[in-house]
Amino acid sequence: MPSAVYIVGRGVISALGDDLSGNRQSLLQSQAGIKAITRLNTRYSEMLPAAEVPHTNEALAAMADMPVTTTRTALLSMIAAKEAFDSFQLPDKLNYRAGFISANTVGGMDKTEDFMKEFAVDTTKGKLHDVIHHDCGAATELVAEKLGITEVVTTISTACSSAANAMIYAARLIRNGYLDWAIAGGTDALSRFTINGFNSLMILDNELCRPFDDTRKGLNLGEGAGYVVLASEKIVAQLAQQPTVKLSGFANANDAFHQTASSPEGRGNFDAMSGALAEAGLQPADIDYINLHGTGTANNDSSEGIAISRLFGKDLPYLSSTKTYTGHTLAACGGIEAIYSTLAIEEGVVFPNLRFQHQMKELEFEPQICLLEGKEIRHVLSNSFGFGGNCTSLIFSKVNE
């Protein structure tokens, strides 16, 4: 078996809360963060609900201790990454080989949109500081510099599987001795470009999303950031408080079926899940809970469900989509949902698939619709399936299981 990689710190910000505690409370109270759009200036504000972080850029800049000219993507990243960094209780942690592996897809689009409003009218107008951090890598570099991490700093951008792939890359660097510990996950902010793009694909729901429901019409977008601190056994041996959860398995696959859709039979989904199980040395029956990718689109839910049925048969674990709380946070979803997976193990809970009412005709199972507490959750499979058929599955396990 490969050497273990442990979860020794976490940080998250989403529409559910500004930190881990706030997100935990909202999840346990089944309080979704999807509402009418109020912060982003978009023509769809009264037509398409989304899960906004309820703070202005000025407020986020104060929380992140960064200039207000910083992109919203980087501000969200800094808030969550700093919480993860601070929760990692290792003295002199920067004296070890540390990495920051962060994912995003939006980059500085929010600032670029502000720039283009003036520039499109008069090419001599517009503030250049609004575009210098446009690319996705800039957000990663800004946060890494603020945290003081220099050993390995890199950005992953593979659509909806981005943050999950960031964790895989970080885990591999640790396992192969290149790093002692790393902060890994993802961030993305809402932008007009994102909303317009997804709307052009006709996969946004004008009501609150209902993944895996037969009447589903699409997804709701969201924003936020989520990071875990991954550490080697050498680092864990030095900690006063031992971790309770480890990243035990992972796999990435690509069915290359379509630019924006998964194969109808879920080939990439199946390969990612079965590969993660093999990596962890587990059987399907060992999984206690599946945190579904569960976007609410017709294609994604069907292909994921068919792949799950093929792999698990009729004896399925509990399963649900927490995107019913946070919306689809794009590159951040794998990081945010990784944290929710660790909470399920620690708290012994299964989070409900909110608003589910009608079983899908092509599937023989339904997601969990009520909060379950007092359960023995040993292994959680967390799915993140992105555009282009880029499919990633992670398995989080209770330590000593």
| Whether the Cβ atoms of residue 384 and residue 294 lie closer than 8 Å to each other | no
Is 379 annotated as catalytic? Answer: no
Distance between CA 201 and CA 221 in Å, rounded?
A: 13
What dihedral angle (degrees, nearest 10) is formed by the CA atoms of 319, 322, 327, 331?
Answer: -90
* Catalytic entry in 136, 293, 333, 391: 293
Q: Decide if 134 is catalytic.
A: no
Residues 6+ apart with CB under 8 A from 62: none
Given the residues 328, 333, 379, 391, the one annotated as active site: 328
225, 77 Cβ separation under 8 angstroms:
yes
Q: Taking each helix axis from N to C terminus, what angle separates 267-280 and 298-312, rounded to the nearest 10 degrees? A: 40
Token pair 């990495």 in the structure block, residue: 99
Asked if 133 is an active-site residue, the reply is no
Write phi, then psi, for 319 (nearest 5 degrees).
Answer: -150, 150
Burial of 21 from C-beta contacts in 10 A (0-12 / 13-18 / 19+) = exposed
The answer to whether the beta carbons of residues 344 and 350 sit under 8 Å apart is yes
Q: What are phi and psi of 372, to 5 degrees?
A: -105, 130
Q: What are phi and psi of 180, to 5 degrees?
A: -90, -35
Of 133, 136, 160, 333, which residue is the catalytic one?
Answer: 160
Active-site residues, by number, are 160, 293, 328
